[in-house]
Amino acid sequence: MSHPKYPHLFEPLDLGFTTLKNRVLMGSMHTGLEEEKNGYERMAAYYGERAKGGVGLIVTGGIAPNRAGWTAPFGSKMTNIKTANKHKEITQAVHDNSGKICMQILHTGRYGYHPLAVAPSRIKSPISPFKPWKLSNMGIKRTIRHFVRAAKLAQHANYDGVEIMGSEGYLINQFVSTKTNKRTDQWGGSFENRIKFPLEIIRQTRAAVGENFIIIFRLSMLDLVDKGNTWEETVYFAKEIEKAGATIINTGIGWHEARIPTIATMVPRAAFSWVTKKMMGEVSIPLITTNRINDPKVAETVLADKHADMVSMARPFLADPEIINKSEQGREDEINTCIACNQACLDHVFEQKTSSCLVNPRACHETILNYTPTKNTKKIAVVGGGPAGLSAATTAAQRGHQVTLFEAQADIGGQFNLAKVIPGKEEFFETIRYFKKQLELTGVQVKLNHKVEKEELIGFDEIIISSGIKPRALKLEGVESEKVLSYEDVLKHKKPVGKRVAIIGAGGIGFDVAEYLTHENSSTSQNVEAFLKEWGVDYNNEVRGGIEGIKPKHEPSPREVYLLQRKETKLGKGLGKTTGWIHRKSLKHKNVKMINGVSYNKIDNQGLHVTIKEKPELLEVDNIIICAGQVSVNNLYEQLKEQSNVHIIGGAKLASKIDAKRAIKEGAELAASL
């Protein structure tokens, strides 16, 4: 019987020799666990939990077929039986939980962050310092054999199949595009020659693993780089992939070096499923679509509208391993939604740290951070209902403690209530929705509009202070002028802002305020067509790479904005590695003047007087908005800190560099220990 609410999502997919229980793939993500101590044990727990959560099929993070294909030095590779035997711990955990799992074979080519990197031609990528070595004809044949060997070893390790990574600008993509393949031998030149490398990999893999083994090919359907493929070439290639023996084609959107956002939070949900839809009917094997699908309703619509046969979600499984079971059981309001911030997953990968998740610090730490039921129920007070306090209160209550949460404001969420009003950060609403439901489910007593005084905390066994932060006030002549506003005045109190504005401070909040002031009524994060126009992508995918000759079209900003900082460094340097460039580009689209090396002299009726690189200047602005960092709200803690049962977390503990990732993690870790 079909599922009443999600008939397409929960329809099994018959692959002939095996059946997937639903239409959801957990997409491949590098987590760094592969390289960790006890990595196999940790990966087994991580994937096992996701299998238990009901997903139809899992794809592992990318595993190299040889050393040259490493992501970084000593990255994971599948080259011998000893390694394959270790992987059995992972496949066992998944199979024990009625799941299915494929191993992704990823050869990074010129994206390899090491001196052994190889490519079809000796051309450096703009995102790696290493110039790759050109593969010889023998080298290419050997590499194909290594892909096949990795697949055979995956089969030995009891994987249900493999995914051959052919997109995102990695080695296979590098062979297919004339941008990176300048060869004149049988592996270069014509399109037929350029696709020979991947087709040989699929053919020889199929011959080696037999018929009853899943081979997914991840095909770049929209390159988003110059000299990318045309749609006709992509369709031709897809047909050849089917003929060569692939079981399923997964969609890849954009090379890593593309300068168009494809998965960040300002990208509308399911913004690229139309690309896969264009391929539907061209091949007879199932197609998977991907990118910014983080919710069962969106997934169901994508499938019902025949954009694909299956959806891939990756980060949503970091945020909530149970997303599928919760959807199936009508518990959608309990889903911890991925807000697409990249802060604890992708940014960690680029910083060579183990991945986790901003909204779920247990992700990739399943053997380390556990919320076990308490044997000693305590009365716990949590002061402050921002991300830190919410995380602490719900985790402690989930463990069986009796928790009271005090919040001075009329609603929970703390500074997240300011983040969620920024255009392109609408997903942040979901985290507050999630915590509200968790407070209800775990039985936390919530006292809103309740600013706590010291005396009220007598009688609690444990006191957690999570009173957060407040904007830093500046010492500057004229700062008391009505022209001067704090970011709270603008985002929370909605004070009117004039047409010419200077923002003092260019951290995350300065950038967000600039985004808010320049995108009034023109946010594209909820509208796929407007988003694609803003970033110069052809909605019909009729031009080369989906971008050739398409000029981005921006709505003009309703305001003239200066974004200022004292440091000489590039503005936005401290923003997330995978998202900072998007914020900078987005503000450039709106002609925001980003100026570094500024010193602030005074504010008067004329505006803001500054010195820029030793030259005095007057910025004639109507308003000056202070986004110059924050200070801790810790007065209550100062009064109580001699007591051994008092704890402090989040921004209240340390305002410098506080973000929701640290706040939520500290809350969860403290609550797990009480």
Query: What residues line the site for ligand NAP (CB under 6 A)?
Result: 343, 474, 504-510, 512, 565-567, 574-576, 627-630, 657-659
Answer with the entry of ligand SF4, ligand NAP, ligand FAD, none that 340 interacts with (C-beta below 5 to 8 A by kind). ligand SF4
Interface with ligand FAD in residues 454-513 (CB under 6 A): 466-469, 491, 508-509, 512
Closest alpha carbon to 574 in 630, 656, 508? 508
Answer with the entry of ligand FAD, ligand SF4, ligand NAP, none that 357 interacts with (C-beta below 5 to 8 A by kind). ligand SF4
The stretches of 36-75 forming alpha helices (DSSP H) are 39-52
Residue 568 CB, shortest distance to ligand NAP, in Å, is 8
Q: What are the distances in angstroms from CA 104 to CA 54, 223, 531?
A: 20, 20, 31
Kindly write out the interface string for residues 324-353 of this chain, putting x where it contacts ligand SF4 by CB under 6 A and - elsewhere.
--------------xxxxxxxx--------
Give the alpha-carbon dihedral of 423, 426, 428, 432, to 10 degrees. Answer: 130
Task: Establish whether 371 is a catalytic residue.
Answer: no
Residue type, 281: G
- Other C-beta atoms closer than 10 Å to the C-beta of 668 total 23
Q: Strands 133-134 and 118-119, how do they pair?
A: parallel
State which residue, 192 or 638, has the beta carbon closest to ligand FAD. 638
State which residue, 229 or 356, has the beta carbon closest to ligand FAD. 356
Residues 240, 245, 250, 252, CA torsion sign: negative
* Cα 7 to Cα 5: distance, rounded to the nearest angstrom: 6
Answer with the entry of ligand FAD, ligand SF4, ligand NAP, none that 319 interacts with (C-beta below 5 to 8 A by kind). ligand SF4
Decide if residue 517 touches ligand FAD (CB under 6 A). no
Answer with the entry of ligand SF4, ligand NAP, ligand FAD, none that 510 interacts with (C-beta below 5 to 8 A by kind). ligand NAP
Decide if residue 55 touches ligand SF4 (CB under 6 A). no
Residue 338 CB, shortest distance to ligand SF4, in Å, is 3
Kindly write out the interface string for residues 448-487 of this chain, putting x where it contacts ligand SF4 by CB under 6 A and - elsewhere.
----------------------------------------
- Other C-beta atoms closer than 10 Å to the C-beta of 610 total 22
Stretch that binds ligand FAD, among 50-58, 393-401, 411-419, 529-537 (CB under 6 A): 411-419
Decide if residue 532 touches ligand SF4 (CB under 6 A). no
Residue type, 189: G
Which one of residues 315, 362, 401, 425 is an interface residue with ligand SF4 (CB under 6 A)?
315
Decide if residue 76 touches ligand SF4 (CB under 6 A). no
Residue 380 CB, shortest distance to ligand NAP, in Å, is 27
Cβ-contact 316, 323 below 8 angstroms: yes
Closest alpha carbon to 284 in 225, 241, 317, 321? 241
Interface with ligand SF4 in residues 579-638 (CB under 6 A): none
* Cα 660 to Cα 137: distance, rounded to the nearest angstrom: 50
State which residue, 344 or 636, has the beta carbon closest to ligand SF4. 344
For the record, the structure tokens of 325 come out as 């079971």
State which residue, 249 or 626, has the beta carbon closest to ligand NAP. 626
* Cα 290 to Cα 251: distance, rounded to the nearest angstrom: 6
State which residue, 468 or 545, has the beta carbon closest to ligand FAD. 468
Residue 653 CB, shortest distance to ligand FAD, in Å, is 8
Residue 469 CB, shortest distance to ligand SF4, in Å, is 21
Cβ-contact 110, 125 below 8 angstroms: yes
The separation between the first and the last C-alpha atoms of the chain, rounded to the nearest angstrom, is: 45
- Number of residues counted as binding ligand FAD (CB under 6 A): 39
State which residue, 362 or 653, has the beta carbon closest to ligand SF4. 362
For the record, the structure tokens of 371 come out as 């919320």
Q: What share of the chain is helix, strand, coil (3-state, %, to 5)?
A: 35, 20, 50
Residue 563 CB, shortest distance to ligand NAP, in Å, is 9
Q: Could you tell me how many helices (H) and strands (E) the chain has, helices first?
A: 22, 27
Decide if residue 659 touches ligand FAD (CB under 6 A). yes
Closest alpha carbon to 59 in 214, 210, 220? 214
Which one of residues 171, 383, 463, 517 is an interface residue with ligand FAD (CB under 6 A)?
383
Answer with the entry of ligand FAD, ligand SF4, ligand NAP, none that 418 interacts with (C-beta below 5 to 8 A by kind). ligand FAD
Residue type, 2: S
Residue 297 CB, shortest distance to ligand SF4, in Å, is 18
Catalytic entry in 6, 111, 159, 170: 170
* Cα 504 to Cα 565: distance, rounded to the nearest angstrom: 6
Element (H, E) at 203: helix 196-209
Answer with the entry of ligand FAD, ligand NAP, ligand SF4, none that 468 interacts with (C-beta below 5 to 8 A by kind). ligand FAD
Interface with ligand SF4 in residues 349-378 (CB under 6 A): 357-359
Answer with the entry of ligand FAD, ligand SF4, ligand NAP, none that 383 interacts with (C-beta below 5 to 8 A by kind). ligand FAD
* Cα 358 to Cα 435: distance, rounded to the nearest angstrom: 13
Residue 557 falls in which region: left (phi positive, over 0), alpha (psi -120 to 50) or beta: beta
Closest alpha carbon to 250 in 105, 110, 39? 105
The stretches of 568-623 forming alpha helices (DSSP H) are 580-589
Which residue do the tokens 């892909």 mark? 147
- Other C-beta atoms closer than 10 Å to the C-beta of 83 total 17
Stretch that binds ligand FAD, among 9-17, 306-314, 401-409, 520-528 (CB under 6 A): 401-409
Residue 515 CB, shortest distance to ligand NAP, in Å, is 10
Catalytic residue IDs: 170
Applying CB under 6 A, which residues contact ligand SF4? 315, 318-319, 338-345, 357-359
- Where does this chain bind ligand FAD (CB under 6 A)? 341, 343, 383-389, 406-409, 414-416, 418-419, 422, 451-452, 466-469, 491, 508-509, 512, 633, 636, 650-652, 658-661, 663
